[in-house]
Structure 1
Amino acid sequence: MSSLTLPLSEPLPAIDNSSRIPGNKGIWVGIACEFVEFLVLFVVYFVARAHFPESFEAGSEKLSRVAGTVITLLMVTSSFFIACSVVAIRANRRRQSLYWLFAGLVMALGYPVAKYVEIQWNLSHGINGESGIFFTVYYYLTFNHLVHATWGILGILWVMARHLAGGYSAEDYAGLEALASYWHATDIIWLVIFPFFYVLV
């Protein structure tokens, strides 16, 4: 019987996660719905742009590219920090995982703040939802994204509370991974929105 026991000095066999779905199936249903919703909105964007090319060209020049760039940097940095949090918990570094998750939350909270400042700047320059078809589409798409990002921020707060309560470990971190998957998806959508409005590619 003793021959079947692994010596304490030898590492345990690695678990093969190659076929495992990150997070859980429920979050991927939500992500699929999010992608479908924005796919429809992008179709509306291209239809409007095809019919009013001059309005889109002129409208893009009036937006603050600084604001768009700041939001992009906040989203990408937040996603990176949350990914680092997942990597840390996988390595059983719980405290480090919490630090990374908190840093991701701080960056994520910067998004609605930056968006508020941008909207105030827009309004001070006479840019609102009735300023033309470009701005109608712009506000509708970016506000929809902000709603999804707000859900993500609430998700970060929930996961943070569970993490602080010891809800995640190297053996069980599906909730943290599900959050990271959703936040990355929301980040990807913004990376599509940014050039469509601020750079007009």
Structure 2
Amino acid sequence: MTAITFPTPEAPTAPSVGRIPGNKGIWVGITCEFVEFMVLFTVYFVARAHFPEAFEQGAERLSRTAGTVITLLMLTSSFFIACSVTTLRTGRRRQSLLWLVAGLVVALGYPVAKFLEIRWNLAHGINGSSGIFFTVYYYLTFNHLVHAMWGILGILWVLARHLAGGYSAEEYSGLEALASYWHATDIIWLVIFPFFYVLA
């Protein structure tokens, strides 16, 4: 069995200067995702400005443990998928597949963690009608979960293509597009996490 090793800094082949990672289509999707969440974050700030006490009190009732676990899952999964891209660039297809599978397994932990968090919330009387803070919280986090589920479906699709030999050291734009989308979704969560679990 081939051992998984972390890609070394000197290993990857330098991509051509000025090249857009992935493809233009994925960047249209990422731009739309960012615009959508910019609107939602605007709603967050407007609501917080009008109901500061509700946001201060609401954050104290959320499970910071759940938020931290989701953050670690997103960051770890993103790292594994980045390793998958890096190893494929150097022709290590088997290792690239193993990194991608690892990224998928960790990514699947997100909806599981979110389900457990929601169950914990409901057990403590926290639902969408518990106040403006929780309405905004559920709306933003559910929207992020939807985008993450699209990303998980994307991982499954790319993994299937990877197993079928659809990517190589010369052509890996599909894998790179997936990594770009997953990193973008990761970045959005890194904004959501402090907004609700730390700063509110």
1:111-153 CA-partner distances (Å, limit 9, x unpaired): 0000000000000000000000000000000000000000000
CA distance in 1, matches of 2:15, 2:104: 30
In the alignment, which residue of structure 2 is the partner of 1:103?
102
In the alignment, which residue of structure 2 is the partner of 1:138?
137
Alignment of 1:1-150 (within 5 A): 17-150=16-149
Q: CA deviation at 1:18?
A: 1.8
CA distance in 2, matches of 1:162, 1:16: 22
Q: What SS class does the counterpart of residue 167 from structure 1 fall into?
A: coil
In the alignment, which residue of structure 2 is the partner of 1:168?
167
Do the aligned partners of residues 68 and 23 (structure 1) sit closer, same or farther apart at CA in structure 2, a change above 3 Å counting? same
Q: Which runs of 4+ in 1 moved over 6 A?
A: none
Structure showing greater Rg: 1
In the alignment, which residue of structure 2 is the partner of 1:4?
none
Query: Where do 5+ consecutive residues of structure 1 fail to align?
Result: 1-13
Q: CA deviation at 1:31?
A: 0.1
Do the aligned partners of residues 192 and 15 (structure 1) sit closer, same or farther apart at CA in structure 2, a change above 3 Å counting? closer
Q: CA deviation at 1:15?
A: 6.8
CA distance in 2, matches of 1:52, 1:20: 46
Return the letter of the residue paired with 2:89: R
Query: Where do 5+ consecutive residues of structure 2 fail to align?
Result: 1-12
Return the letter of the residue paired with 1:130: S
Give the structure-1-normalised TM-score: 0.92
Do the aligned partners of residues 16 and 179 (structure 1) sit closer, same or farther apart at CA in structure 2, a change above 3 Å counting? closer
Q: CA deviation at 1:17?
A: 1.2
CA distance in 2, matches of 1:15, 1:58: 50
CA distance in 2, matches of 1:76, 1:47: 29
CA distance in 2, matches of 1:77, 1:45: 27
Q: CA deviation at 1:61?
A: 0.2
Return the letter of the residue paired with 1:21: I
CA distance in 1, matches of 2:71, 2:17: 30
Give the structure-2-normalised TM-score: 0.93
CA distance in 1, matches of 2:16, 2:195: 37
In the alignment, which residue of structure 2 is the partner of 1:193?
192
Q: CA deviation at 1:200?
A: 1.6
